[in-house]
Structure 1
Amino acid sequence: MTALIITAGTAISAMGRGMEATRTCLLEQRQTLQPDTFQSPGHGYIGRVAGVEDHQLPGALHRFDCRNNRLADMALMTDDFMEAVADARAHYGRHRLAVVMGTSTSGILTTEKAYAARKDRDEALPPDFPYDGTQDLSSLPRYVAARLDVTGPMLTVSNACASSTRAFIDAAHLLATGLCDAAIVGGADSLCRMTLQGFASLGLVSAHPTRPCDAGRSGISIGEAAGFALLERADGRPRPARPAGYRLRLLGYGASSDGHHMSSPDPTGSGAALAIQKALARASLPPEAIGYINMHGTGTPANDQMEDRAMASIFGRAVPCSSTKGWSGHTLGASGILESMICAIAIQDQYLPHCMNSQTVDPLFQSDILLAPRHGKLNFVMNNSFGFGGTNSSLIFGPLT
């Protein structure tokens, strides 16, 4: 595949604002999930980002004002990400930078509030309701492009919980075809009643902080997050390097769609295994080369069991695995970008995070599930994301050499 490098990255979640805050949270094993006070009555625990309610978008972009775009804006303003994009824009030209964003619900909270504010149940939403700037799935990439002053190709990926992982794949295709020289890749998903109440109605929300892969796991904790990466061709036009930061290579990717069920994963794990195998093949790596896998690991009985079967069929017990959703909660369409940035931290620090909150691995599992962090040599790491409808994506990252 085309050699691709991430030259800048950022993430914001309940773990903290920015890469160093996220790193500190992992290393110090901080508890970050909190009881759901976002709605009344609440459901279990959530991963909430502080300060979103008070954050203000630039006045010229007020038509995009919603929780999702506020969260995205906070991430853009972190880790000097906007400055990194400005350097790339000056070098390549604003029309040569693409924006590929993943989200599952966009700014639907704004619609929920407008709907609840109606005086009569048959009353329509106000004619000036800013649907296109808030709830529409194109809102996020249009906001990011406007905020960063880039005019290249724009794309929204809404593949449920695999959205921002799949965004890397579509961005890689754009770069390989020469339609752009760099791509701003990432996504955002913010707290809203639809996801909180929707997952609760499916019986998938745990009454306690989520415990991925634990024998007594009982469901997910919903979270919110946003993150971005600047993806460039390694053989592109040379430009001055920025400070190292969390830089890495995108070595391989794989995707599949098993279509087993709208909300339940294929229990055999065959679709997930296919995405993993494709990523390994594209990276030209054998399974034993992977040093750590960041699992999708939602904490539901069915999802974690499926993923264990998929990984064990390829790696056996040879590769350490964990889910970091015990810190962030399940951030839905933003999971892929957040956990890709966690992979960057793992590579830089040679640190393998464990399954937070989990104490006893499900005895039926065959994979090497981490219940405590490890230090060890990491050359290549994998990030898995599996979404509703059987959409599966896997990414492989490595350090810059």
Structure 2
Amino acid sequence: MAEPFQAAVTGLGLVTPAGIGVAETWRTIRAGTPTASSDSTLDGMPVDFSCRVPGFDADALLGRRTAWRLDRYVHLALVACREAIADAGLDTSAWDGARVGVVMGNALGGVGTFTTQHETLLADGAGKVSSMLIPMMGVNMVAGYLAIDCGAQGPNLVTTTACASGTTAIGTARDLLRTGRCDIVLAGGAEAGLSRPIVAGFTRMGALSGRVDDPAAASRPFSVDRDGFVAAEGAGVLVLERHEHAVARGARIRARVSGYGASADAHHATAPDPSGTGAEAAIRAALTDAGLEPSDVDHVNAHGTSTPLNDAVEAGVVARVFPALPAVTSVKGVTGHSLGAAGAIEAACTVLTIEHGEVPPTANLENPDPALEIDVVRGAPRRLGVSAATSNSFGFGGQNAVLVLTAN
């Protein structure tokens, strides 16, 4: 049997409700400090809170000339990507751009721009709609703009698998490296969908927590009294390289992406298959791809949305696949659910868990659901040597994607 292909993770970049930058984000997640709070842009709505990136000033971070022509979801991605490239020690003026790809996950595109311009159309007519509307709102544009910013001329695409988009992007990036199409791929996800129509839609679906009296406590994955997720925004970018390429340039290898699995429930538009068959297939496929057994896995970074159905199905699958009960966490208790960005943010957190030997706690988990027979870390970080971990993502449409990350 061929040796499993391992993509080297040489750089991380994060912009999340837990903070701008990897260090600040990890500090907040490690502390288990929830970030959900009242959101003035949602005033008067049944659910009027969210998880926003704090203090994000696109003009200051990107320059006003760049910021004005981009939607917020691209703002977040650009800042995360620049951090990841710097963290990897790469010089974009010196690299062979034709060998550098970009794969980003996104679910909604530039909905903030679309909402604003639709309001302009209704109020002032078609002649006042911005000529930048289409390049600002396009789902594909985040990958295009990242390539423009750093001169990446290799394969360039966006994966759209709902809440699994960021994970799908990283798995797709690894495939580009495995086939030899690229030496480096910038991979991750970005989302900025906290517009009133989007939040209203999720509210009408019954997907969001209704804890308007205590937003900070609203996202509570695996809790017996969980009642929905908290809508969030954010971006995460990982620099992935062929191992030989990373070694040849003397790069620090933070961890490896050693396996990827994907599947479809083929069950329902928004609800997970109660049997968990599709999610289980994705996890087992990722383990097989990595050449690992379930007993090799020390940690599971769960999708853990804080919805009644998702958490129950995922917990059942984890218990079935991993009878040794690895340490489980969901960072969504801190960050909320950033849809297409979530999988990338969580993959980066899994890398940090491997590096630091510490599994962060699941925030707000005061009363674990006794029906969920898994070992969820809560209260404080758990010291644990992690040699292999899975990062799980499950999206609307029944789209499942799972990564296996291993220590270098």
TM class, shorter-chain normalised? over 0.9
Superimposed CA distance per residue, residues 185-211 of structure 1 (whole angstroms, 9 cap, x where no aligned partner): 011001233432211111121123211
Describe the SS at the equivalent of 2:121: coil
In structure 2, relative to structure 1, the CA distance for the partners of 1:194 and 1:248 (3 Å cut) is farther
Describe the SS at the equivalent of 2:133: coil
Name the residue aligned to 2:357. Answer: 350
Cα separation, 2, equivalents of 1:132 and 1:286: 46
Give how far 1:18 is off.
1.4
Name the residue aligned to 1:265. Answer: 272
Q: Is the 8 A contact 2:104 2:157 kept in 1?
A: yes
Give how far 1:83 is off.
6.8
TM-score normalised to the size of structure 2?
0.91
Name the residue aligned to 1:31. Answer: 34
Equivalent position amino acid for 1:73 in 2: L
Cα separation, 2, equivalents of 1:219 and 1:345: 27
Does residue 379 (structure 1) correspond to residue 395 (structure 2)? The answer is no
Name the residue aligned to 2:146. Answer: 144
Give how far 1:108 is off.
1.3
Q: Is the 8 A contact 1:17 1:78 kept in 2?
A: no
Greater fraction helix = 2
Does residue 217 (structure 1) correspond to residue 230 (structure 2)? The answer is no
Q: Is the 8 A contact 1:53 1:67 kept in 2?
A: no
Cα separation, 2, equivalents of 1:194 and 1:270: 33
Equivalent position amino acid for 2:342 in 1: S
Unaligned runs of 5+ in 2: 212-217
Superimposed CA distance per residue, residues 344-378 of structure 1 (whole angstroms, 9 cap, x where no aligned partner): 11111111112101111112112222223311121
Give how far 1:41 is off.
2.1
Cα separation, 2, equivalents of 1:168 and 1:89: 24
Cα separation, 1, equivalents of 2:93 and 2:275: 45
Name the residue aligned to 2:70. Answer: 65
Does residue 165 (structure 1) correspond to residue 167 (structure 2)? The answer is yes
Describe the SS at the equivalent of 2:198: helix
Residue from 199, 213, 237 that aligns with 1:196: 199
Equivalent position amino acid for 1:35 in 2: S
Q: Is the 8 A contact 2:31 2:360 kept in 1?
A: no
Name the residue aligned to 2:248. Answer: 239
- Cα RMSD of the aligned pairs, angstroms, is 2.1
In structure 2, relative to structure 1, the CA distance for the partners of 1:394 and 1:125 (3 Å cut) is farther
Describe the SS at the equivalent of 2:14: strand
In structure 2, relative to structure 1, the CA distance for the partners of 1:18 and 1:237 (3 Å cut) is closer
Name the residue aligned to 1:129. Answer: 131
Give how far 1:126 is off.
4.5
In structure 2, relative to structure 1, the CA distance for the partners of 1:125 and 1:261 (3 Å cut) is farther
Residue from 33, 51, 54 that aligns with 1:50: 54
Name the residue aligned to 2:214. Answer: none
Give how far 1:134 is off.
1.2
Cα separation, 2, equivalents of 1:20 and 1:60: 28
Name the residue aligned to 1:274. Answer: 281
Equivalent position amino acid for 2:256 in 1: R
Q: Is the 8 A contact 2:74 2:142 kept in 1?
A: yes
Superimposed CA distance per residue, residues 229-258 of structure 1 (whole angstroms, 9 cap, x where no aligned partner): 11111133753324x4x7111111100011
Give how far 1:58 is off.
4.8
Give how far 1:273 is off.
0.4
Cα separation, 2, equivalents of 1:392 and 1:130: 34
**Which range is displaced more, 186-195 or 343-352?**
186-195
Superimposed CA distance per residue, residues 310-368 of structure 1 (whole angstroms, 9 cap, x where no aligned partner): 11111135212121101100010000110011111111111111210111111211222
Cα separation, 1, equivalents of 2:122 and 2:108: 25
Unaligned runs of 5+ in 1: none
Cα separation, 1, equivalents of 2:393 and 2:378: 20
Residue from 303, 307, 312 that aligns with 2:310: 303
Describe the SS at the equivalent of 2:283: helix
**Matched residues, percent identical?**
31
Superimposed CA distance per residue, residues 18-61 of structure 1 (whole angstroms, 9 cap, x where no aligned partner): 11112211333323221232322241531111233553645675
Q: Is the 8 A contact 1:186 1:229 kept in 2?
A: yes
Cα separation, 1, equivalents of 2:166 and 2:89: 19
Describe the SS at the equivalent of 1:167: helix
Describe the SS at the equivalent of 1:98: strand
Equivalent position amino acid for 1:316 in 2: P
Name the residue aligned to 2:178. Answer: 176
Cα separation, 1, equivalents of 2:275 and 2:16: 32
Give how far 1:86 is off.
4.1
